[in-house]
Chains A and B, each alone.
Chain A
């Protein structure tokens, strides 16, 4: 067609310049990180996860209350910060005062007042005598009484002649009370009452106070330890218990999935790579174990390991989880490896004489890493869930060892009266599970864009 000239056979100018790579090359992981960083939800969850890890590791140094110190005086407190208490005598020695027979009597309860310091150990009331009264009735309420309505709790009737004082020692709490004292004439309470409002201080008995602060004396004011999450039914600080529980819950939640993923990767990779009969045998085994009802066998294994009721078998729990969970991760890895085994670059490597071990370690496992990582991120919350579930029914970590599940178990007993004992550990479980789940979603989108949006 064209006539060829000698110039056509000259060397063409180099086009190298056109092929210059103008952007930095990104590895798979760098690319994934860029994608993950753009996902606000995932980054937020990553922050929460890191905060939780920090909370668990640094918590005992930052919050120096002992999780097992009991202070029964402070049982089941709601969240409090920096309350002060007054130190009182170990034994409350109080005896009623009797009026002088010659004292002038009034026609109504007058001069009702509080004697001494009103504390949660007791509030002493004293009043003036009423003409012809055979006794007095004392009522207490923590609401506002209206006339003779809503007087509240009938505390006592004092009927000893001349007794004009009373000490209320009945479950006094640090809130304000209104006392009403009515005189009794011929068995009937008269409407000529006296009333006083009291806000008692928190009292701490001497022995307990000296445990908190050496050298405390009666009458001292000492600052009680702060309990941002309140205390449990034995007066132990809930925050420090949650920190201690986090160590157990999170270490089970991280350790068990890591172990069974490792086992799953090894066995699944081996099965997928070998194929044939070995593969078939392993798959049969996997199918059988996957068909076992998981929680039932967790419980059964616990018994089989000789962990009796009332004992915390943390190790037994991890072993049982690994034994029951590796098959599903092995199945996942096997599928991945089988797909990759036929990939061109693997065949090329094999053609160049790569050995099995090299192929597995250099090509197959690194390329399944993304899927494994996503699976692991979802395995962590489900393990935390399992731990909490088992501990809650008393078959995992049991009190007194704190874990989030066993704290919930502890807290549910008095849930309706002191909800905080249950709710704080429950919040920690939920937030942790939520953070790992959202992080897993983000990782899946970042590492495996093909699967985006599925499930």
Chain B
């Protein structure tokens, strides 16, 4: 188990290193340089700014400095916001995105497992058909459309009833979380429902289910003790990529609902060409996603005893 963990963490670190390197060189391939946007008005100011941001050094030196700063968890200072460090930005805005993302994942995972089980139980009957229509909707409608439609619907509802049932934007109260989490989680929910349905149907035909039935285990016992436990495994394996999808999906949903999360900040930084923030946030997001996937892998190993995690090298 320990060896497996070490192996996973090492490969994760290599990926993060690769992400950092790719980010660094991608940003240095940009034509012109970050000081072009009207800040460096005279050669003296330009030289001073270059010194401040270390841009006067050779590229390789900049690269090693960048890597060692990253390794120490220092992402540098923002180019456009006066003396604000990228770490501050992350510290301030990431928790908001993380809360929203985790809530959306929770919605998607629990909803997907529940709806997927229901569709499998009522295969080809009304509940199955109805849920599959919702699934098709969720898979083919982009999250920003879902978000906007929800806003429109709730605004109309608020207007008709004259109450404010749910806020349609902003941040700070629990009510602000409901719509964004649903909009963000819907497509993943649809995907997981589909996966759960097919894996549930596969499990239902398995020999051990027949054996359990022959032994006289009650249908509920079979469902919770055998079917659900086995069918849920494929869902867990795709949770890692699902977290990645939801995290980047947050970029859009945070825009639509005016939530001050890190995703919105990233988009803003790209619009302002704030180089250090873009680099820092890319590496940060990359590391976050890589380690989320590892976490899910480890959880999978713990849940499924059939997988001898020590041996299974390519268990993806």
Contact = CB atoms under 8 A, between A and B. Distances in A.
Given A288-B18, A437-B139, A394 B29 contact: no
A433 B272 CA distance: 32
Contacts of B289: 293
Contacts of B47: none
Contacts of A98: none
Interface string A296-324: 11011101101011000000000000000
Given A301-B26, A303-B26, A455 B194 contact: yes
Given A388-B142, A412-B144, A297 B248 contact: no
A292 interface: yes
Given A419-B152, A433-B140, A434-B140, A393 B26 contact: no
Contacts of A303: 26-27, 30, 270, 273, 278
A166 interface: no
A426 interface: yes
Interface string A427-443: 00111011001100000
B149 to A, nearest CB: 8
A430 B18 CA distance: 35
A300 B198 contact: no
Most chain A beta carbons < 10 A, residue from B32, B139, B202: B139
Interface in A377-397: 381, 385, 388-389, 392-395
A33 to B, nearest CB: 24
Contact of B270 (A309, A430, A438, A453): A309
B248 A293 contact: yes
B107 interface: no
B282 interface: yes
Contacts of B141: 426, 430, 433
A455 B192 CA distance: 9
A291 B198 contact: no
Contacts of A433: 139-142
B136 interface: yes
A352 interface: no
Nearest to A433: B140
A381 B187 CA distance: 14
Contacts of B27: 300, 303-304
B142 A430 contact: yes
B15 A288 contact: yes
A284 to B, nearest CB: 10
A334 to B, nearest CB: 13
A416 interface: yes
B26 A291 contact: no
B152 A416 contact: yes
B19 A292 contact: yes
Nearest to A381: B140
B244 interface: yes
Contacts of A395: 267, 270
Interface string A207-244: 00000000000000000000000000000000000000
Contact of B148 (A293, A306, A393, A412): A412
B271 A309 contact: yes
B31 interface: yes
B23 interface: yes
A431 B271 CA distance: 30
B198 A408 contact: no
Contact of A293 (B267, B272, B286): B286
Contacts of B145: 408, 422, 426, 429-430
B198 A453 contact: yes
Contacts of A294: 244, 248
B267 A429 contact: no
Contact of B252 (A296, A309, A389, A422): A389
A415 interface: yes
B267 A393 contact: yes
B155 A416 contact: yes
Contacts of A392: 142, 144, 252
B97 interface: no
B252 A393 contact: yes
A385 B143 CA distance: 10
Interface of A: 288, 291-297, 299-301, 303-304, 306, 308-309, 381, 385, 388-389, 392-395, 408, 412, 415-416, 419, 422, 426, 429-431, 433-434, 437-438, 453-455
Q: What 8 pairs across the A-B complex have the smallest Cβ distances? A: A434-B140, A304-B26, A306-B31, A295-B248, A426-B145, A433-B140, A291-B15, A309-B271
13 contacts: A291-B19, A291-B290, A296-B286, A300-B27, A303-B273, A385-B142, A393-B252, A395-B270, A412-B144, A416-B152, A430-B141, A430-B142, A433-B142
Given A303-B30, A434-B136, 11 more contacts: A293-B285, A296-B285, A309-B271, A388-B142, A393-B267, A408-B145, A422-B145, A426-B141, A426-B145, A430-B145, A453-B201
